[in-house]
Amino acid sequence: MATAAKASLLFSPSPAPEGFLTTRLCKLFPTQKPSFPTPASSSFSSITLSKVLNADAVYTKLPPRLRTARQEQERDAISRLNERIRREHAKRDQSHPLRPAMDSEEADKYIQLVKEQQQRGLQKLKGDRARQAGAGADDAAQATFSYKVDPYTLRSGDYVVHRKVGIGRFVGIKFDVPKDSKEPIEYVFIEYADGMAKLPVKQASRLLYRYNLPNETKKPRTLSKLSDTSAWERRRMKGKVAVQKMVVDLMELYLHRLKQKRPPYPKTPAMAEFSSQFPFEPTPDQKQAFLDVERDLTERENPMDRLICGDVGFGKTEVALRAIFCVVSTGKQAMVLAPTIVLAKQHFDVISERFSRYPNIRVGLLSRFQTKSEKEEYVSRIKDGRVDIIVGTHSLLGDRVEYNNLGLLVVDEEQRFGVKQKEKIASFKTSVDVLTLSATPIPRTLYLALTGFRDASMISTPPPERVPIRTHLSAYSKDKVITAIKHELDRGGRVFYVLPRIKGLEDVMEFLEQAFPYVEIAIAHGKQYSKQLEETMERFARGDIRILICTNIVESGLDIQNANTIIIQDVQQFGLAQLYQLRGRVGRADKEAHAHLFYPDKSLLSDHALERLAALEECCELGQGFQLAERDMAIRGFGNIFGEQQTGDVGNVGIDLFFEMLFESLSKVDEHRVISVPYHAMKLDININPHLPSEYINHLENPMQIINGAEKAAEKDIFSLMQFTENLRRQYGKEPYSMEILLKKLYVRRMAADLGITSIYASGKMVGMKTNMSKKVFKLITDSATSDVHQNSLIFEDGQIKAELLLELPKEQLLNWIFQCLAELYSSLPTLIKY
């Protein structure tokens, strides 16, 4: 069997209610010794109690000193399985503590809904691509979409991914004569670790992807080998694992959100009147975003969780303002959360001005600039409902801030908040409508892959009056700096001067004061006193300050219309994504804006800095500006949605192949399901009846009730069985081998039922398991196995999982083998869609 990666499909277990099993077990294993009534009958059908509890049975065990390490390892297989399941479960609980309990009918309905939405997204994207190419309506319907790269767009030295061979370096395209022809054709030449490969251009266009990483290092760790593709296969399967896990998380979040309910907000004439006050003509993308949010609020019963993606200055704030009006006009509160106080203050000013015509709607700002008494007053007003729109930073998420009737949460640049703040934001999504604004562009490829799982609106059209920013990259010189600043001041504008660190700001201040003695200049950075920083930013916004020397505190959000030149010194110390955001601080008006990027003498730079600088130079040579930076930002956007830990998985295959695998996996989500069977419908056809030793029976409080309780725990779910076993060991110590065999029988039946296995039998050296799972699901499960033994020994045919052992095993050893085999398969269950 081919080795592949860990499969990942959605598992939605339903553990026992908290405290239920603990209470039952406390009664079962009390510290004092009550007398238990003997049950009249037992559901323990697979084991004859009279045999299990035969006090005269012969029980042989090795003295502790003679037990080998291997025997000890075998003896504790249950503990290792419990730890493995609990560890995986804990990981998922940390990511998504609220999981849907959903029956099969609900799952079918939602999976179908997801697939329909995704197909609509695909058709829309196909239409967009065809229209961009100038195709007609008929052609648009037939247009194809691909994540693959056009070989003619590659440049020598670019890294590419061949789906079957792996990562190589593109050399070029040139004519060559194939063996079976005299006519030369074009070939793509790709360098690998152990040689050069050539592919006909047509074939290359079907199999090649551009290789990009979720960071600014463009080089892969190693090139693949033509002579050995197994290493690449392992990397590709690692990517597949990550993709499947991503699908799990998306499905869980999506299905959980669909189960939340709230009454739709009413559509009112006041909403139309509020919208008409917008002083600009909305772009088509903006109009669609307005419509999307309005439908979420007024037509859906599920709380909104929508992401608005758009570049700086493209009009995301207006979308939020209309959503806020819709909610607060019904008497509910809205919270606007920003990552920095500078940005929060700007939001407060914009909202206050826009809602100034509505005296009954009260706007408040909670910030660290306020005194303690001012803060306490605001917290009291929020709790009493005397503030309708609350603007602030993460302090709004504190425990002491209680909301009277919160209806909407607007989050700006969520990726800039810390882990704890993000967890708090996530907790709001279960009860209130949430609108997230992001200046991080998301590639349409990822947008498509998310369609149906993540509501997102993209505003990618700039306002009509927006003029493209001109970018200049050059070695630093004082003359160039003075010329750039003088050009902006002469046309009445203002200038940002950005450095990577606080150290050096004063030196630049001294230099500029000498060069421009009659111009007001100020410094801004995050270590300043709050009041001082606020006053500086306000004076710069008003025009009292003409040159602002600062760190990247101004990276996001600031909207200063007449600041149209930005100078960035030591540009090699910034990431492409940071530069993209900083560059967006200018060009907010109808004047042509300039971004001057300066680097020091190249001889002083490290190899890494030179590599980053080369990427910047490439950006500027492309003619359309920051295409590489946009790509880097797109990857950052990917991290925003899926979490930073996921972005590391992309490096195995590159972002484009990863996106394609994600889309394929989402498209086939209904094929990745395991349908469990009832516990009592699972038959274990192996005649093994362990006999408990008399000393252990005498040690137990009430043996028959304990055995019966074990069966009931197994019947309920795997977590109840785990908890039962752990409580049994806690109360009575480690059980003897025969009791362990009894418990393993229960574990085998429970795991098999969860895996959709209806019966397990043995015939000589052959072990068979009848199952309702598909061959595709079987392959995903076995691909995920960490044990090569189980991975390579299992086959699937005629609706059965089969294994041929090297020799016929005694029954107890056979049960141990089946236990280990199912434990390995069961480890994939949290990544399977289980309903």
Give the model's confidence band at 639: pLDDT under 50 very low, under 70 low, under 90 confident, else very high: low
- Secondary structure class of 360 (helix, strand, coil): coil
E-assigned strands of 32-163? Answer: 159-162
C-beta atoms surrounding 506 within 10 Å: 11
Q: Which residues of 126-155 are buried (b: 16+ CB within 10 A; e: fewer)?
A: bbebbeeeeeeeeebeebeeebbbebeebe
pLDDT given for residue 635 in this prediction? 53
pLDDT at 498: 94
pLDDT band, very low/low/confident/very high, at 611 (cuts 50, 70, 90): low
pLDDT tens, residue by residue, 232-256: 988 887 777 777 777 766 666 666 7
For residue 576, how many other CB atoms are within 10 A of its CB?
22
Residue at 346: amino acid letter: Q
Please report, for residues 68, 69, 206, 580, 725, the alpha-carbon distance to residue 740 in angstroms, rounded to integers and kept in the order given: 17, 17, 55, 61, 10
Sign of CA dihedral 305, 311, 313, 314: negative
Greatest Cα pair distance in the chain: 105
Q: How confident is the model at residue 486 (pLDDT cuts 50, 70, 90)?
A: very high
- Mean pLDDT, residues 324-345: 90
Q: Mind giving me the DSSP string for 584-631?
A: TTS--SSSPPEEEEEE--GGGS-HHHHHHHHHHHHHHHTSSS-HHHHH
The predicted-structure confidence for 152-185, as pLDDT tens digits, reads as follows 888 888 889 998 999 999 999 998 888 888 888 9
The CA-atom distances, in angstroms, between 767 and each of 109, 517, 754, 817, 826 are 37, 89, 19, 10, 17
* Per-residue model confidence (pLDDT) at position 832: 61
Q: Give 11's DSSP letter.
A: B
Q: Quick one: pLDDT at residue 565?
A: 93
pLDDT of residue 118: 58
Highest mean pLDDT among 435-449, 485-499, 763-777: 485-499
As to burial, measured by CB atoms within 10 angstroms (0-12 exposed, 13-18 middle, 19+ buried), residue 579 is buried
Among 7-16, 73-82, 373-382, 464-473, name the one with the lowest average pLDDT: 7-16
For residue 744, the model assigns a pLDDT of 93
CA end-to-end distance (rounded Å), the chain = 28
How high is the pLDDT of residue 556? 59
Query: What average pLDDT is seen over the chain?
Result: 76
Beta bridge partners of 458: 309
* pLDDT at residue 34 greater than cutoff 50: no
Which is more confident, 687 or 581?
A: 687
User: Cα(817)–Cα(809) distance, rounded to whole angstroms?
Assistant: 9
Strand ranges across the sheet with 159-162: 195-200, 185-192, 166-176, 159-162, 208-210
- In this prediction, residue 74 carries a pLDDT of 45
Bigger pLDDT: 477 or 833? 477
Ranking 100-114, 313-327, 651-665, 795-809 by mean pLDDT, the lowest is 100-114
Confidence of residue 457 (pLDDT cuts 50, 70, 90): confident
In angstroms, the Cα distances linking 507 to 164, 498, 531, 540 are 55, 13, 23, 20
Beta strand pairing status for 757-763 and 766-771?
A: antiparallel
Tokens 């009791």, located at residue:
739
Average pLDDT, integer, range 55-83: 53
| Bigger pLDDT: 660 vs 387 | 387
The band of 54, judged by pLDDT with boundaries at 50, 70 and 90, is very low
How many CB atoms are closer than 10 A to CB 575? 16
Residue whose token pair is 């892969």? 220
Dist CA 417 CA 408 (whole Å):
18
Residue 147 confidence (pLDDT) above 50: yes
Q: Show the beta-strand stretches assigned E in 138-266.
A: 159-162, 166-176, 185-192, 195-200, 208-210
Q: Give the pLDDT confidence score for residue 64 in this predicted structure.
A: 42
What proportion of the chain, given as a percentage, has pLDDT over 90?
28
Cα–Cα nearest to 509, from 480, 545, 542: 545
Output the pLDDT for position 831: 58
Checking if the pLDDT of 429 tops 80, the result is no
CB burial of residue 539 (10 Å; 0-12, 13-18, 19+): middle
Cα–Cα distance measured from residue 571 to residue 499, given in angstroms and rounded to the nearest whole number = 8
Residue 466's identity, in one-letter code, is R
Query: Nearest-CA neighbor of 766 among 726, 712, 814?
Result: 814
Q: Which of 468-472, 527-531, 725-729 is predicted least confidently?
A: 527-531
At residue 470, φ and ψ (nearest 5 deg) are -90, 130
Lowest mean pLDDT among 208-217, 283-292, 691-700: 208-217
Report yes or no: 677 and 756 within 8 Å, Cβ to Cβ.
yes
Mean predicted confidence (pLDDT) in 707-736: 91
Cα 114-119-123 angle, rounded to 5 deg = 150
pLDDT tens figures, 250-277 = 666 666 767 778 899 999 999 999 999 9
Task: Work out the number of other CB atoms within 10 angstroms of the CB of residue 38.
Answer: 11
Quote the distance between the C-alpha of residue 530 and its chain's center. 34
Question: So what's the pLDDT on residue 613?
Answer: 66
pLDDT in tens, 458-467: 787 777 777 7
Burial of 464 (0-12, 13-18, 19+ CB in 10 A): exposed
Whether the model clears a pTM of 0.85, i.e. scores above it, the answer is no
CA distance linking residue 748 with residue 198, whole number of Å: 52
Which one, of 571, 542, 541, 572, lies nearest residue 554 by Cα? 541
Burial 247-275 (b: 16+ CB within 10 A, else e): bbbbbbbbbbbbebeeeebeeeeebeebe
> What is the structure's pLDDT at 753?
92
Q: What is the mean pLDDT of residues 576-592?
A: 75
Q: What is the pLDDT of residue 3?
A: 36
Residue 413 has pLDDT above 90, yes or no: no
pLDDT at 757 over 90: yes
The percentage of residues in the chain with a pLDDT greater than 70, rounded to a whole number, is 70
- Helix (H/G/I), strand (E/B), else coil: 814: helix
Q: Where are the alpha helices (DSSP H) in 736-803?
A: 737-754, 775-783, 788-793
Q: What is the pLDDT of residues 505-526, one digit of tens each?
A: 999 999 999 999 999 999 998 7
The contacts found for 745-748 with CB under 8 angstroms, 24 or more apart, are 745/46, 745/47, 745/684, 745/688, 745/815, 746/710, 746/711, 746/713, 746/714, 746/721, 747/78, 747/81, 747/714, 747/718, 747/721, 747/819, 747/822, 747/823, 748/684, 748/815, 748/818, 748/819, 748/822
Supply angle C-alpha 38, 40, 44, rounded to 5. 95
Residue 730 scores a pLDDT above 80: yes
Q: Give CA 78 to chain center in angstroms.
A: 32
Please determine, for residue 13, whether its predicted confidence score (pLDDT) is greater than 50. no
pLDDT at 29 over 50: no
739 vs 781, residue with greater confidence = 739
Whole-number pLDDT of residue 616: 60
Q: CA-CA distance, 24 to 716, in Å (whole number)?
A: 13
